[in-house]
Amino acid sequence: MTDCKNLPAAVARLRRLFLCVALVLPLAPGASALAQGTALKIEGAWVRASVPGQSGTGGFMRLTASEPLTLVGLQTPAAGVAELHEMKMDGDVMRMRAVSEIVLVPGKPFDLRPGGHHLMLMGLKAPLKEGSTVPVTLVLRDARGAERRLPVQMPVALRAPGAAASSSGSSPAGAHQHGHKH
């Protein structure tokens, strides 16, 4: 007969191991994910392709948290600076600015999209070519204040996955062009 006294502890150790693996393994390009350790579902992640001489570009995705989380930053080796940004109308002028955090309400999808909140990669170290991927690490804070990191492999594209060829954003910089310098 098997000794079941240690079974709960063994199951707990296996669960912790699975959560650690889920946090370390990057997502396949274009994949959706629910990383158990971060309670965050990521859908439609992508980074807009760039051209030689272009210093910045945007990253986009849909985030759905299953617990209270706050996106507080990001990191990538592809750019000198990576920030959370928002674009919004100020009178009749569209303005972009860095934001310190994005609160994710459990069960409510939050879109990082062109023309709204997005990831901003500035000081690109090389042009981002369509069909390649960019490693990005999302930095999250949970309700207890603990920081969590979630690596994501983001595919590089000219437009959102599944976007019609006639949609806006047909140029590499698309709707994400801006004139300010960082």
Domain boundaries, the chain: 27-160
Of the options 3.40.1440.10, 3.40.605.10, 2.60.40.1890, 3.20.20.450, the CATH number for the domain spanning 27-160: 2.60.40.1890
Res. 114: pLDDT tops 70: yes
User: Is 84 exposed, middle or buried, given 0-12, 13-18 or 19+ CB atoms closer than 10 A?
Assistant: buried
Contact criterion met (CB below 8 Å) for 102 and 117: yes
Q: Kindly state the average pLDDT of the residues 72-97.
A: 95
Res. 142: pLDDT tops 60: yes
**Which is nearest to 20 in space by CA: 122, 166, 149?**
149
pLDDT tier at 83, thresholds 50, 70, 90: very high
Average confidence score pLDDT of the chain: 80
Res. 177: pLDDT tops 50: no
Q: Kindly state the average pLDDT of the residues 113-127.
A: 97
Q: Specify the pTM.
A: 0.71
